[in-house]
Amino acid sequence: MSKTDLPNPIDVVIYSYKGKMLKEVVENLLAKSSKKNAIYLHIFDQHTLTRQDYFDKIDNCGYQHILWDNILGPCFYKNQIIEESKFTYTLFISDNIFLKDNWDEELINALPNSRSIVSVKNKTKLVQDGIFYFKKEEEVVDQFTSNNFVGRDLIFGYTETLRSIGYPKYLKYYGEEEVLSLMYHANNIKIYCCPNDFYKKEGTDNVETLYTVFSKYHNYNQMIKLIKDEKNDHIDIGLPLMSPLVDFYNIHGLSIENIQPIPFEINDVLYNPTDSEFDGIDSKRFMTKINYID
């Protein structure tokens, strides 16, 4: 039976920022799958060197090299897949996540219905870290458990369900998890977390530890505005038609009146520089290809 004949096609999306373990993560993901479901890969690789030749050898793998100075940010590319995917399920994972055996079967079986998703491992809640920021607290669990947090390390669900919420492409990194958690809760979509042994996370997130040309806090205050006002310049939760959010705040122990926008928000330009005709006038005109070192 060929991969195209298998049921339950899963669109696996990995955005990598200078990820040193990207190849190993992909190899692990494919090796540890049950081989009972069709796996398709979308890899966005923001790196100084392209790894096109390597990933072109993998069946059903779409690879896109992103130049190191591209400022669009991870959320833009994740939203692109949500809008375009035609597969039954979508899985977002980070570029340093190593999954356990039969991960695909376990994720599919963990969804009781289409109005549910699985995200991250262990029961997680947001807590305030001063008046501007949030941090996460985890409670270790040994089975799939009801949760109220959506995190970027792993998000799995029916593609139509993920598309109905969308991805906050007006953000680039910080604020992403808070907005997703709030939006899934507000839309009455049940969130489950994975058991602690479902995956291992190796190392740190490069976007957090390395210099990036895009602002990690781009539109961060739009997240604060959504949490405080239940709407921002990009989205309106639509209360009272949707579920009240007071229980979300209570579950996470958030004191909304004490959360404040950051005073000196650093946003990137609001247009895509690569659309400019001047973008092609640089050193790339002297190159046909940038090779990677294996």
Distance CA 260, CA 133 (A): 9
- Mean of the pLDDT values across residues 38-63? 96
pLDDT surpassing 80 at residue 117: yes
Note if the pTM is more than 0.75. Answer: yes
pLDDT at 283: 47
59: which residues sit within 8 A by CB, 6+ positions away? 3
pLDDT (mean) for 107-129: 96
Q: How far apart are CA 160 and CA 108, in angstroms?
A: 15
pLDDT greater than 90 at residue 289: no
Tell me which fold the domain 7-271 belongs to: Spore Coat Polysaccharide Biosynthesis Protein SpsA; Chain A (3.90.550)
Can you give the pLDDT at residue 255? 86
> Which neighbouring-strand residues pair with 139?
123
Higher pLDDT, 281 or 101: 101
Distance CA 7, CA 199 (A): 24
Instruction: Say which residue the tokens 């049950």 belong to.
Output: 34
Render the burial of 41-75: b for 16+ CB within 10 Å, e for the rest. Answer: bbbbbbbeebbeeebeeeeebebebbbeebbbbbb
pLDDT at 122 over 60: yes
pLDDT of residue 73: 95
pLDDT band at 245 (very low <50, low <70, confident <90, very high): confident
1 pLDDT band (50/70/90 cuts)? very low
Residue 260 has what pLDDT? 94
Predicted pLDDT at 134: 94
pLDDT band at 247 (very low <50, low <70, confident <90, very high): confident
| Element (DSSP H or E) covering residue 201 | strand 199-201
How far is 139 from 124, CA to CA, in rounded Å? 6
- Contacts of 284-287 with C-beta under 8 Å, sequence gap 24+, read none
* Predicted confidence (pLDDT) at residue 49 exceeds the cutoff of 50: yes
What pLDDT score does 288 carry? 53
Helix 220-229 to helix 176-186 angle, to the nearest 10 degrees?
Answer: 30
For residue 265, the model assigns a pLDDT of: 87
Q: Inform me whether the pLDDT recorded for 272 exceeds 50.
A: yes
Q: What is the mean pLDDT of residues 14-35?
A: 97
Q: Give the residue extent of every domain in the chain.
A: 7-271
* pLDDT for the residue 294: 53
State the pLDDT at residue 191: 98
User: How far apart, in Å, are the Cα atoms of 159 and each of 22, 86, 114, 280?
Assistant: 23, 8, 9, 35
Residue 241 has pLDDT above 80, yes or no: no
